[in-house]
């Protein structure tokens, strides 16, 4: 009963959290563009802006080393436009630029956790609708692992 209730909540709350996160990103682009540039690792203003999946930020040289990027996707996600412009960190004086490494990597970890939660919710609902939830050992083993991975040791769930 509790797993079915949790899946019902997850299938609603995880997409809602992703939507609210997107709204927060739009707000951050409007009111804290330097913070958004740091989170996304954008040093040079770009139009269209790629989405940097991974890279190594170099604040001294104001560049992203070894970037793995998806063209146009940064503009689409951050401006809801295929060719939207994103202001880069080089637009601000060096003394006003936030550090990039911590928010850049922390944001990617947060998005990764969200993707895992979405996968668990969708997979669980599909299995439940097919009547195979209790026969899927891989899923039942994944749930406690995911709970430990997402929960902090000091939380009641951890």
What local confidence, expressed as pLDDT, does residue 73 receive? 95
Determine the Cα–Cα distance for residues 83 and 73; give it in Å rounded to an integer: 9
Per-residue confidence of the chain (158 residues) as pLDDT tens digits? Answer: 788 898 999 999 999 999 999 999 999 999 999 999 999 999 999 999 999 999 999 999 999 999 999 999 999 999 999 999 999 999 999 999 999 999 999 999 999 989 988 999 999 999 999 999 888 888 888 887 756 555 555 545 44
Name, in order, each residue with C-beta under 8 angstroms of 25's C-beta and a sequence gap of 6 or more.
36, 77, 78
Distance in angstroms (rounded) separating the CA atoms of residues 158 and 152: 6
pTM of the model as a whole = 0.82
Output the pLDDT for position 148.
Answer: 58
d(CA 117, CA 111): 10
Using DSSP's 3-state secondary structure scheme, residue 70 falls into: strand
100, β-bridge pairs: none
Q: How far apart are CA 28 and CA 15, in angstroms?
A: 20
Each domain of the chain, given as residue ranges in start order, spans: 10-150
């Amino acid at each position: 009963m509790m797993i079915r209730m949790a899946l019902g909540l997850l299938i609603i709350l995880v997409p809602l959290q992703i939507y609210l996160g997107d709204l927060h990103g739009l707000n951050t682009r409007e009111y804290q563009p330097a913070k958004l540039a740091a989170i996304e690792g954008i040093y040079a203003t770009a139009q269209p802006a790629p989405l940097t999946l991974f890279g190594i930020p170099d604040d001294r040289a104001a560049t992203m080393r070894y970037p793995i990027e998806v063209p146009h996707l940064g503009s689409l996600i951050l401006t809801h436009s295929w060719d939207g412009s994103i202001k880069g960190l080089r637009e601000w004086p060096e003394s006003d630029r936030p550090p990039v490494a911590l928010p850049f990597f922390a944001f990617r970890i947060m998005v990764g956790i969200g993707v895992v939660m979405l996968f668990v919710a969708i997979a669980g609902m599909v299995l439940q609708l097919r009547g195979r939830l209790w026969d899927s050992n891989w899923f039942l083993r994944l749930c406690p692992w995911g709970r430990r991975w997402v929960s902090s040791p000091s939380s009641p769930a951890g």
